[in-house]
Amino acid sequence: MNHVAVDSATPAANAYEPTAIELKWQAHWVATQAHEVRDDLPREKCYYVLEMFPYPSGKLHMGHVRNYTIGDAVARYQRMRGLHVLHPMGWDSFGLPAEQAAIERNAHPKAWTYDNIAYMRGQLKRMGFSYAWSREFACSDPGYSAREQDIFLDLVEKGLVYRKSAVVNWSTGLNTVLANEQVIDGKCWRTGMPVIQKELPTWYVRITSYAEELLSGTYTLPSWPDAVLTQQRNWIGKSIGAEIDFIVVGFADVKLTVFTTRPDTVFGVTFVSIAPEHAALASIVPATHRAALDAFVADVRATPTNDRAGDTAEKKGCFTGAFVINPVNGERVPLYAANFVVADYGTGVVMAVPAHDERDFAFAQKYAIPVRQVIVPNSGKLNELSEAFTDIGTLIDSAQFNGQRSDAAKLTITDWLAATGKGRKTVTWRLRDWGISRQRYWGNPIPFVYGEQTGVLPLRKADLPVTLPDDVVFDGIGNPLAKHPTWATTTADGQALTIRTNDGPEPARRETDTMDTFMQSSWYFARFTCPDAVAPLDAKRVNHWLPVDLYIGGIEHAVLHLLYARFFTKALSDLGYTTVREPFKRLLCQGMVCMETLYREQNDGKKQYFYPEEVKLERDAKGKLISAVALSDGQAVTVGRVEKMSKSKRNTVDPQHLIDAYGADSARLFILFAAPPEVDLEWNDDGLKGSHRFLKRLWTLAQDQRQRLQSVSAFAGHAKECSGADQAVVRKIHATIKKATDAMSKDFSFNVAIAGCMELFNELKPDALSPEVLKLGLETEVRLLAPMVPHIAHELWSHLHPNSGGVTAAGWPSYDPDQLQADDADYPVQVNGKMRGKLVLPRTLVGTELEAAVRAHPEFVRILGDQTIRKLVVVPGKIVNVVVG
Partner RNA sequence: GGCCGAGUGGCGGAAUUGGCAGACGCAGUGGAUUCAAAAUCCACCGACCUCUAAAGUCUUGUGGGUUCGAGUCCCACCUCGGCUACCA
Count helices and strands in the chain by DSSP H and E runs: 27, 35
User: Of residues 20, 712, 835, 869, which one binds RNA by CB under 7 A?
Assistant: 835
With contacts defined by CB under 7 A, name the span among 287-295, 323-331, 671-679, 807-815 that binds RNA.
Answer: 671-679
Asked if residue 427 binds RNA (CB under 7 A), the reply is no
CB of 131 or CB of 434, closer to RNA = 434
Min dist CB 826 to RNA, Å, is 4
d(CA 576, CA 151): 11
Min dist CB 236 to RNA, Å, is 11
Asked if residue 466 binds RNA (CB under 7 A), the reply is no
With contacts defined by CB under 7 A, name the span among 32-40, 138-146, 219-227, 440-448 that binds RNA.
Answer: 219-227
User: Of residues 746, 803, 805, 848, which one binds RNA by CB under 7 A?
Assistant: 746
Site residues (CB under 7 A) for RNA, limited to 584-623: 619, 621-623
How large is the angle between the packed helices 18-31 and 790-800, nearest 10 degrees? 90
Residue (of 232, 230, 82, 223) closest to 551 by Cα position: 223
Asked if residue 434 binds RNA (CB under 7 A), the reply is no
How large is the angle between the packed helices 685-704 and 750-763, nearest 10 degrees? 40
d(CA 567, CA 158): 14
Site residues (CB under 7 A) for RNA, limited to 850-879: 871, 873, 875, 878-879
Min dist CB 278 to RNA, Å, is 10
Site residues (CB under 7 A) for RNA, limited to 756-775: 758-759, 762
Asked if residue 67 binds RNA (CB under 7 A), the reply is no
Buried b (16+ CB within 10 A) or exposed e, 347-374: bbbbbbbbbbbebbbbbbeebebebbbb
Count of residues of this chain found to bind RNA when the rule CB under 7 A is applied? 93
Asked if residue 124 binds RNA (CB under 7 A), the reply is no
CB of 173 or CB of 837, closer to RNA = 837
d(CA 515, CA 150): 13
Asked if residue 181 binds RNA (CB under 7 A), the reply is no
Min dist CB 646 to RNA, Å, is 12
CB of 659 or CB of 674, closer to RNA = 674
User: Of residues 686, 767, 823, 866, which one binds RNA by CB under 7 A?
Assistant: 686
Asked if residue 647 binds RNA (CB under 7 A), the reply is no
d(CA 336, CA 742): 63
Site residues (CB under 7 A) for RNA, limited to 533-562: 555-556, 558-559
With contacts defined by CB under 7 A, name the span among 75-83, 336-344, 484-492, 716-724 that binds RNA.
Answer: 336-344
User: Of residues 26, 169, 751, 819, which one binds RNA by CB under 7 A?
Assistant: 751
Asked if residue 834 binds RNA (CB under 7 A), the reply is yes
- Residues 7-46: x where in contact with RNA by CB under 7 A, - otherwise, as a string: x-x-------------------------------------
Asked if residue 628 binds RNA (CB under 7 A), the reply is no
Site residues (CB under 7 A) for RNA, limited to 296-325: 308-311, 313-316
Buried b (16+ CB within 10 A) or exposed e, 450-460: bbeeeeeebbe
Contact indicator for 337, 275 with CB cutoff of 8 Å: yes
Q: What is the CA radius of gyration of the chain?
A: 35
d(CA 321, CA 341): 18
Site residues (CB under 7 A) for RNA, limited to 692-711: 693-694, 696-697
Min dist CB 199 to RNA, Å, is 19
Site residues (CB under 7 A) for RNA, limited to 343-382: 345-348, 350-351, 357, 359
Asked if residue 883 binds RNA (CB under 7 A), the reply is yes
Transcribe 184-207 into DSSP letters. Answer: ETTEETTT--BEEEEEEEEEEE-G
User: Of residues 495, 624, 632, 885, which one binds RNA by CB under 7 A?
Assistant: 624
Min dist CB 212 to RNA, Å, is 17
Residue (of 157, 692, 90) closest to 448 by Cα position: 157
CB of 34 or CB of 872, closer to RNA = 872
d(CA 588, CA 223): 9
Residue (of 641, 790, 655) closest to 67 by Cα position: 655
Min dist CB 504 to RNA, Å, is 48
Asked if residue 846 binds RNA (CB under 7 A), the reply is no
CB of 539 or CB of 642, closer to RNA = 642
Residue (of 536, 564, 572) closest to 464 by Cα position: 536
CB of 20 or CB of 840, closer to RNA = 840
Torsion of CA 457, 459, 461, 464, to 10 degrees: -160
Site residues (CB under 7 A) for RNA, limited to 253-282: 259-262, 275
Asked if residue 341 binds RNA (CB under 7 A), the reply is yes
User: Of residues 548, 672, 674, 854, which one binds RNA by CB under 7 A?
Assistant: 674
Min dist CB 177 to RNA, Å, is 18
d(CA 752, CA 90): 31
With contacts defined by CB under 7 A, name the span among 1-9, 51-59, 131-139, 726-734 that binds RNA.
Answer: 1-9
d(CA 569, CA 563): 10
Contact indicator for 195, 171 with CB cutoff of 8 Å: yes
CB of 743 or CB of 774, closer to RNA = 743
The answer for residues whose C-beta is within 8 angstroms of residue 802's C-beta and 6 or more apart is none
d(CA 809, CA 77): 11
- Is the backbone peptide bond immediately before 465 cis, with ω within 30 degrees of 0? yes
Instruction: Report CA torsion sign: 559, 562, 566, 567.
Output: positive
* Three-state DSSP class for residue 588: strand
Min dist CB 556 to RNA, Å, is 6
Residue (of 280, 311, 300, 318) closest to 197 by Cα position: 300
Asked if residue 633 binds RNA (CB under 7 A), the reply is no
